[in-house]
Chain A
């Protein structure tokens, strides 16, 4: 399926949308398509907003962000995310923040169709005070006080993977992040892939998402750049460093987005 059609068919303004991929396999091309189609008022969910949500937030697509680490890994700040939280530009951004363990478990609960997940952590921190999706429960067996996080159930989850077969079964390998949980927690899933093959081959550390769990598979080679797809590309660390300068200034950011995203030309992998 064409990525443009898949986004247009499945993602509406105001929806809760998760684009997952923990450093690896981040679905940048799909995020850019959301921006080109001018989606608004989205609730965006992602453990690490990364550059892709910095771009969506800076382009005014998001009303709310559910996340657990909002930095540019190894580089520093996400300037568009900071500008939205600190100055309300281009619009105010409501934030709901977890720890990594909290949000990973919230996806897992969503995938299991459970209302909440149980973990340690959060106790004694200010995170629980500022997040209505975190509470505490007593273990019915030992009486230990544990933290509870409400399940995350996106309307749509979008991920990038290495391969799909012609039936629409998807295979991804390498650092698999929280993609399986995010796909299974969602009402609908869109997957962009590097390659469509006749038959999937067994691979170490591979995750299979059966066709019946996915609404649309789109062939988008290089769709994770500047993140990467193990076996196809490497992480463009230079671009992650360069983004610090590009994103610092509002005008420069807008000019970059106009040139590289809005006017259609995908950044070459």
Chain B
């Protein structure tokens, strides 16, 4: 057996390297209801920055489905202070809110970007921030401004400055990539000639668990995203090792091993130590997912004759069946507020994203398939990212968790799959 040779092999193919060539492009399919009309005015002096901040902010807001961009032409020069704003004009353009700002180069080569968000009806300032940034932080700053606008106007936290991970298959090559939530700024975390699957962000956003087939079978790894350390195998037992899921405190991993026969759920410390089995069936038990309070684990099992979703205490205990309609319900994911269960259901041969309200147990069909899989909640719970296909090519798509708004993200001539939305990062 070659099990001892995989570490150097991985070392040889691991490239903690520069930006991935092909970027995800976003195509908006549906329209949201009750969109807030907002006018994003060009920031004075922003042409000195490598990207247009206001363009990114406007795109972020429009893509969220919650906002409608108001035409801002014919305002020259754009106002930078509240006193310069012609509020009646914006009222007649039907804008509810107005974003103004300016960018300046500082003596040390960095930039200052300041903005104000204004309430058109009240003719007052809702809020404003000044950032000091390097040119390389332009995009992140724009996403943070969009997050600010989103939060002030919707009352919920924005996810524009969060990151997503996904797998790209291009010819014989597999890549684990991390990108901004809008698909830009993609970085390859791992490149391999063998499949990579099931990327899962640690709750602190600095580690990634995934499954690699580098050694001709599924083995579970955890890789640091900050330190250029070798990815470490955390579960490499006889048989298959897959389906990693982090506990909300980031200290434990649930995973599926087959060392004792059929696929069963195990818990281990994040470094792979202290392994213990928590499901005991002779059926398939897989796809564990922790509830946000860390108390329960949802998982998929065919113990009842067909794959269905169950919930059990995280420390082990009696599972309770959660899905009952249909004969194929898999891939459970719980929203960060613990209120919605997203999963994949096979309906008349089509695989579709479903959302169950965990209080009322009402189920809503969010997508129409035919091959939708791997749902992943944005950390604010408003959007579910999932994998689908378009002309037989794997692409990512997003649907709002109320099903009203959809968009598609794809890369030319590559298969994109298994999205995983990263957590909010502290700031």
The judgment on whether A and B are partners is: no
